[in-house]
């Protein structure tokens, strides 16, 4: 998070005081004069920063309005260019086409209406203790969650799996998979519908999905009936990118991550799907949604499991191997299923055995940490 002006001033003053005191130069008069000079320079920097921020926002607003006008008047521009020509009209046509393609990226990535009833009907689990919950994100969007409760032996100590699904359907379509997780992993399972999916409000976007993930984690961490030290993130396909990013910015709240058949980034996927066009040479700012998992995974040092179905026809399995290699985690595993497809790897033989083994290793290390901390607290007086 970027520091505000007052925070930066306070930080600089503290730094200056520390440097002067360490150097043994704590003369009151000298210190006050240096503080005055530092404050004056920082105030000037702060004003410049605010001016540049306002100018940048104005430029973005003007650019977006111009782009919208170009998209609306594309047909008129083409007809006028055909009749009169001109470099300016050609530039406006190219800008409008770029704007349409930029906006069209959402249509290519998010499919909340597939199948067609996904926004109307969300199947609920039956015969299993569960809660249908609504939470709000920091920007006020209401999200729908389903919490499947583990009620077996010692439920208060059970881990909790936060399940982030792919780019189509809703959480109800993932209930069968989640129930098997509950039974095999002896864990609570929380499913969340991103904004614009299922019964959640809003429209999907990259930043919006990140906020949805944060809101889900905040809600679960606020509950007194779950073990906050055993939060495990699970993400499949697009959900893998959401899980990786959430883990990267919450290293002290996330115990482990499990990602399945996910990608390096949207630019990498674009270069794979549209290899006939020089998409690989487009700069990052051309992409409305980036999901740069190959960068975020480098910040995930918690235990990590990468699940790859080699029969995935949508996302190249090599991307899962690359994410595994990029991970700096000391405890990381790569589980490969030769017959696993993009959405159905969880139905392969040995799938839940791999997840269960990973969870056992995680819980074992967790117990060892608690024991070592306990012994340390006894010996330190």
Active site residues: 237, 312, 342
Q: Which two tokens stand for residue 91?
A: 């530039």
CA atoms within 13 A on the CB side of 194: 26
Nearest to 208 by CA among 221, 222, 223, 197: 197
Nearest in space to 334 (alpha carbons), one of 363, 312, 309, 311: 309
- Rounded to 5 degrees, what are φ and ψ at 139? -95, 15
Cis peptide bond N-terminal to 115, omega within 30: yes
d(CA 220, CA 105): 32
Q: What are phi and psi of 207, to 5 degrees?
A: -65, -35
| Contact by Cβ (8 Å): 338, 310 | yes
Three-state DSSP state, 280 = helix
Can you tell me whether residue 254 is helix, strand or coil?
coil
Label residue 373 exposed, middle or buried (CB < 10 Å: 0-12, 13-18, 19+). exposed
């Amino acid at each position: 998070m970027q520091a505000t002006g007052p925070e930066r001033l306070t930080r600089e003053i503290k730094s200056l005081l520390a440097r002067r005191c360490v150097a043994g130069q704590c003369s009151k008069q000298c210190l006050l004069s240096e503080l005055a000079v530092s404050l004056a320079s920082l105030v000037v920097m702060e004003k410049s920063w605010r001016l540049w921020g306002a100018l940048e926002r104005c430029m973005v607003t003007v650019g977006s309005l111009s782009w919208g006008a170009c998209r609306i008047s594309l047909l008129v521009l083409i007809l006028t260019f055909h009749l009169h020509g001109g470099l300016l009209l050609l530039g406006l046509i190219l800008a409008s086409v770029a704007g349409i393609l930029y906006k069209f990226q959402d249509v290519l990535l998010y499919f909340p209406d597939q199948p067609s009833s996904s926004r109307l009907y969300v199947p609920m689990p039956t015969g299993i203790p569960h809660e249908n919950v609504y939470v709000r994100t920091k920007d006020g969007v209401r999200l729908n969650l389903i919490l499947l409760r583990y009620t077996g032996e010692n439920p208060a100590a059970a881990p909790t799996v936060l399940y982030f699904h792919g780019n189509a359907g809703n959480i109800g379509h993932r209930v069968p998979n989640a129930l098997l997780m509950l039974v095999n992993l002896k864990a609570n399972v929380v499913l969340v519908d991103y904004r614009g999916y299922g019964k959640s409000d809003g429209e999907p976007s990259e930043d919006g999905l990140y906020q949805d993930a944060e809101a889900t984690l905040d809600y679960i961490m606020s509950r007194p009936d779950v073990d906050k030290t055993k939060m495990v993130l699970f993400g499949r396909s697009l959900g893998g990118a959401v899980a990786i990013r959430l883990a990267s910015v919450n290293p002290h709240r996330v115990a482990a991550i499990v990602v399945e058949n996910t990608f390096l980034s949207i630019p990498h996927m674009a270069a794979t799907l549209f290899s006939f066009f020089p998409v690989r040479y487009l700069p990052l700012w051309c992409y409305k949604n980036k999901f740069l998992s190959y960068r975020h995974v480098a910040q995930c040092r918690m235990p990590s499991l990468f699940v790859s179905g080699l029969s995935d026809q949508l996302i190249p399995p090599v991307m899962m191997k690359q994410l595994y290699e990029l991970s700096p985690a000391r405890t990381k595993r790569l589980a490969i299923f030769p017959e696993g497809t993009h959405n159905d790897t969880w139905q392969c033989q040995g799938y839940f055995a791999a997840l269960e083994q990973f969870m056992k290793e995680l819980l074992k290390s967790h117990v060892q940490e608690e024991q070592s901390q306990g012994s340390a607290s006894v010996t330190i007086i």
